[in-house]
Amino acid sequence: MTTAIADYALVSDRHCAALVSRYGSVDWLCFPRFDSPATFARLLGQGAGHWTITPVGIFEAARRYVEGTMVLETTFRTATGTAVLTDALAVGRDSTGHQLGIGSPHLLIRRLACTEGIVPMEITFDPRPEYGLVTPILCPVDGGLASRGGADSLVLTSPIPLTPEAGGAYACPVLEAGAVASFALHWSTPARPPARTWTQAELDDQLAGTVAGWRSWSEPHQTYQGPFRELVLHSGRVLQALSYQPSGALIAAATTSLPERTGGERNWDYRHTWVRAASLAMGALRVAACPEEACDFFGFLATAAPSLGRDRVLRIVFGIGGEHDLTERPLDHLEGWRESRPVRVGNDACNQVQIDVYGDLLEAACRMSDQFGDLDDPTRRFLLTCADCAAERWRDSDHGIWETRGEARHFVYSKVMCWVALDRAIALADLLGAGVRVEWWRQVRDEIAQAVLRQGWNAEVGAFTQAFGSTELDASVLMIPILGFLPADDPRVLSTIDVIENELTDEHGLVYRYRAQAGVDGLPGAEGTFLPCTFWLAQALAMAGRPDRARYVFERAARHANDVGLFAEEVDPVSRELLGNFPHTFSHLGLVNAAQAIAEAECQVGAGAVPSPRSEPRTPRSARPAPHSP
């Protein structure tokens, strides 16, 4: 039976990530980078490899992250005893503070301790490198096993002898109270120092160093004191865990091809970094992490992005090392999570035209301007070019924020982001040395504003709509007040917020991106509700002076975190299961930004923590469409 997405937890060394199920199984691990071919990929195919340490028979499992860290602790309780499994990707013994992860030894540590009674355990080590294509040969070495096969070197440390069998190995030890055993998987290549087995003392030292390293980052940097504090601080750690330490890139999620609809084909590789994340991340990282992380991410984009083709198109997504070629391909040998095919690696969205990205970059630059000092000339010229491109190209159709694979359209959000690009460029004019451009930028900015107000607002619908001349709703227009295109208390904004809340939500009040049945995205089938958009609704409500209602919406979304506080991208409107890639950066960014907006709104109006009667759901303007069937 396929494990539910919500049953996984993340561990990370800020180079790569592993997903560990509540049953003690590592079903996803990509050494040495987030986007590397997976060594364990049972998440996407039953024969694609796993490493399981679990009790024999019936047990209960409770999980938590060790305080202030992304080190996972799972407590197994059986009829005869209790065992605690601690999982971590080692960050490096002296890797602390802002340098967290810089000394990663590429080592997955699994420490098993019996704390009471007797616990029979089952250990299965079944590596399948390159997304399950390689069945390695396991060779005994002093203190463990070496895996041979494929381009990488893997060595398993095991203080308990394992019996090799058919490309895997297993053991069934019985642990008594006080017994402790630390296991580890070490990755290397022929170009690096060889992978090896580790002593128990070395593993204890690496695990203690990883706990200390996370705390050395979180304790001085995470200072937020507003509402939903624990959720915000934990989201900050998740965002740190999803950032690639060598470059500062922030990935969209740790996985590929977890579906937006069970059994569907809306399955994408999110192990890359999107320019769009910049405008959302700058504020959230400052609130929940620290300014250095925001600077690192912007610095990565400023290095990777300055490459406009002859048609002056800015790429929207990059590899975590700054790569431009993310050619998409299917992995046909994998059946996908719950038969959701195809499984894809790479992402062809890198070739799409999306004119909103000029605004994303300039919004991020504006937020970071107090950190700049003097811009170097290449960065200054690049930002000038982004503003010029927004002025020149705002009339173009594109594929929009949702990267639709249908016909290009005149999406309202894309036009608004071109307005944002020029508005922020004007604000940065002195820093950019904009000179005579400013008057031109002002003129075009005003033209865009008039076009959006004239063609993007639909009085009959009572809302800003998805595209010029459209009657379809789209949650992306919630960004209109968030980005300052119109004040949050503008009557058109207030009406848009109400219409989206009433008409673009499921029966549980979570927000859809848009109605997929309208066919705008060029793909068959439907999808779940979108957690980032629900947090955007909460943020917009807070900015509109409705903090009590914002809290209500925020809490509806927040309750869909799993037991260790992680969010996926979407929620199935019928089963209420988490869907989509996991954990999802935009969901955690949305949570942080919404919580900060609620804090500011409550400060302004003096609202209390208890929602008022106004927090009850409003009567819809019209009957909602029936929820999608799974």
Asked if the structure places residue 434 within a domain, the reply is: yes
CB count in 10 Å sphere of residue 226: 15
Nearest C-alpha neighbor of 384 from the set 308, 311, 437: 437
Q: How many residues does the chain have?
A: 630
The answer to whether 441 and 391 have CB atoms below 8 angstroms apart is yes
Retrieve residue 472's tokens: 């379809």
State the total domains in the chain: 2
Asked if the structure places residue 628 within a domain, the reply is: no
Residue 309, pLDDT score: 56
Asked if the structure places residue 630 within a domain, the reply is: no
Q: For residue 83, give the CATH number of its domain.
A: 2.70.98.10
Residues 187 and 254 in one domain: no
> What percentage of residues in the chain have a pLDDT greater than 70?
95
Q: What is the pLDDT of residues 161-196, one digit of tens each?
A: 999 988 899 999 999 999 999 999 999 998 889 999
Q: How far apart are CA 80 and CA 119, in angstroms?
A: 6
Residue 613, pLDDT score: 33
Interacting residues of 347 by C-beta distance below 8 A, sequence separation 6+:
268, 269, 270, 272, 317, 326, 328
Residue 292, pLDDT score: 85
Beta-strand (E) ranges in 217-353? 243-244, 249-250, 273-274, 317-318, 329-330, 344-345
Residues 206 and 235 in one domain: no
Average pLDDT for residues 320-327, to the nearest whole number? 95
Residue 371, pLDDT score: 78
Distance of CA 243 to the CA centre of its chain: 10
DSSP state of 398: B
Residues 556 and 599 in one domain: yes
Asked if the structure places residue 623 within a domain, the reply is: no
Q: What is the pLDDT of residues 17-74, one digit of tens each?
A: 999 999 999 999 999 999 999 999 999 999 999 999 999 999 999 999 999 999 999 9
Three-class secondary structure assignment of 229-250: HHHHHHHHHHHHHCEECCCCEE
Kindly state the helix (H) or strand (E) to which residue 482 belongs, with its residue range: helix 479-482
Q: What is the pLDDT of residues 224-266, one digit of tens each?
A: 999 999 999 999 999 999 999 999 999 999 999 999 999 999 9
For residue 80, give the 3-state DSSP assignment: coil
Instruction: Give the domain-ending residue among 185, 218, 251.
Output: 218
Instruction: Give the domain-ending residue among 218, 244, 268.
Output: 218
Q: How far apart are CA 625 and CA 622, in angstroms?
A: 9
Residues 449 and 549 in one domain: yes
> What percentage of residues in the chain have a pLDDT greater than 90?
80
Residues 155 and 39 in one domain: yes
Q: How far apart are CA 620 and CA 617, in angstroms?
A: 9
**DSSP-derived pairing of the beta strands 570-571 and 578-579:** antiparallel
Asked if the structure places residue 596 within a domain, the reply is: yes
Angle at 325 between CA 193 and CA 19, to 5 degrees: 55
Residue 350, pLDDT score: 87
Average pLDDT for residues 580-605, to the nearest whole number? 96
Asked if the structure places residue 621 within a domain, the reply is: no
Q: How far apart are CA 224 and CA 613, in angstroms?
A: 28
Whether residue 312 has pLDDT greater than 80: no
Residues 322 and 440 in one domain: yes
Whether residue 611 has pLDDT greater than 50: no
For residue 275, give the 3-state DSSP assignment: coil
Residues 559 and 608 in one domain: yes
Name the residue with higher pLDDT: 61 or 405: 61
Residue 621, pLDDT score: 30
Whether residue 624 has pLDDT greater than 70: no
Q: What is the pLDDT of residues 507-523, one digit of tens each?
A: 999 999 999 877 777 78
Instruction: Give the domain-ending residue among 218, 234, 265.
Output: 218
The answer to whether 273 and 318 have CB atoms below 8 angstroms apart is yes
Average pLDDT for residues 380-395, to the nearest whole number? 94
Asked if the structure places residue 625 within a domain, the reply is: no
Nearest C-alpha neighbor of 537 from the set 500, 486, 587: 500
Residues 117 and 162 in one domain: yes
Q: For residue 398, give the CATH number of its domain.
A: 1.50.10.10
Residues 163 and 247 in one domain: no
Asked if the structure places residue 511 within a domain, the reply is: yes
Q: What is the pLDDT of residues 345-375, one digit of tens each?
A: 999 988 888 999 999 999 999 998 887 777 7
Interacting residues of 376 by C-beta distance below 8 A, sequence separation 6+:
none
Domain region containing 521: 222-615
Q: How far apart are CA 74 and CA 55, in angstroms?
A: 12
Task: Let me know how many helices (H) and strands (E) the chain has, helices first.
Answer: 14, 26
Residues 425 and 293 in one domain: yes
Residues 213 and 229 in one domain: no
Name the residue with higher pLDDT: 128 or 435: 128
Least confident range of 469-483, 513-527, 615-629: 615-629
CB count in 10 Å sphere of residue 99: 17
Residues 114 and 132 in one domain: yes
